Structure 1
């Protein structure tokens, strides 16, 4: 994980407005959200695992699933997840439906981040700053 200092830290936004501004740029609300915190993720690449820019936030007024929730942005960071190739050692196989969970267990959830994407991540943070912060 590589943290990127940003003028976004501590700034308050309505979650709905953030979504309206960030989703068209390719950001999505990451899967690790709860009622009081979450993150917008931008998938930078999937060359060797997955490389993301993550914009974490915490609820300061309301819960994330409530209308009008206000959030405070926290320090953005870059992260990389490397997944094992082939079948997952812990795949879940259902009995009656014969369905299974095809998602791989990560080999290294905090994998090293490819250097060639660090500057790209910084540029993405500056882009978000220019969109969200008054000039």
Structure 2
């Protein structure tokens, strides 16, 4: 994981407005959230089972993340690498999964994989954050 220094950290805004702007900048809101915190992701690079993401965490100050009017604050953005298994899952539950479809997704093999050429990905993450900041700057407060 590479933490990034960015002006977005500590900025505040309404969730619904910035969610749309993040989406316009190629980011997605992670479906794995709770009502008090979440994160936006942007894929910086993907090859095979490896993906490098820019991740921007958010905390809710007022409201809940299932409402557009939730008031949020941005945390420290970071770059992270996930490594997933592209093959079949051969564990005790594989047959159950294949016949019932109860488990659709595998856990990453490595949620915080080693990132080669850290300066390259740090720069890519900062460039992406700057692009996002440019599009949402007028919506942010300190």
State the partner residue of 1:31. 31
State the partner residue of 2:103. 101
Alpha-carbon offset, residue 68 of structure 1: 1.1
Of structures 1 and 2, the one scoring higher in RCO (CA 8 A, sep 6+) is 2
Partner-residue secondary structure (3-state), 2:128: helix
Structure with greater helix percent: 2
Alpha-carbon offset, residue 128 of structure 1: 1.6
Unaligned stretches of 5+ residues in structure 1: none
TM-score, reference length from structure 1: 0.86
Regions of 4+ moved over 3 Å: 89-95
TM-score, reference length from structure 2: 0.82
Alpha-carbon offset, residue 19 of structure 1: 1.1
Cα separation, partners in 2 of 1:85 and 1:13, compared to 1, 3 Å = same
> Once superposed, what is the RMSD of the aligned Cα atoms?
2.2
Unaligned stretches of 5+ residues in structure 2: none
Q: Cα deviation per residue 1:56-94 (whole Å; 9 max; x = unaligned)? A: 100001111134111000110001111124222345544
